[in-house]
Structure 1
Amino acid sequence: MASQKSITFQNEPIGNKHVSKVPGIGKTLGDELAKARIDKAYKVLAQFLMRDKAEAKFKDWLQKTCKANEEQQRDCFNAMRDWCTQHGL
């Protein structure tokens, strides 16, 4: 069952949301991503799209960029994939 954070994220425009609003990304990982100049949710989406929505490539980027564990990688990947499906990308 999807978390409330996932449901909310999927059903709303990304707009100018802070990166910590992305499922799988909280304050700690958000701070790490911000160090890499990824401070907004749309920048995570851009990384997802630049990797052709490929699960392994995106998860590897997350692990290398912010040390996301497997669960965090999975939650973030699923959020990006589901958001794209919901919004026709």
Structure 2
Amino acid sequence: MTTWPVDDPAAIAQACGRVDRGFVVEVGWRWKTSQIVRFGAARFPRVNVAMREWPCWSSLDELHGLGEAAAIMGDWLVDRAIEQALERRAPDPYASR
């Protein structure tokens, strides 16, 4: 799911995944996003978290539950901010997009 606010179409928030596996969340500006993870999240072992439309590999430690993913996206779209317990990380270069 990809969404952006009407007043600033350059800001973007997107999430991909499944309820039973978790969600990868990315926020940022069109053409340059950052993956949002908990501070100190491990990058391995990797699991496939997405559907055919957006295959994406991520570690279980980097994934968010449905409510948490929606809250991260909402905070970014409204305030352009993320919680202090989270950090921005460059998207995984090996994950298909």
Fold conserved between structures, TM > 0.5: no
Return the structure number with greater helix share.
Answer: 1
The structure, 1 or 2, with the larger RCO (C-alpha pairs under 8 Å, 6+ apart) is: 1
Considering only CA atoms, is the larger Rg found in Structure 1 or Structure 2? 2
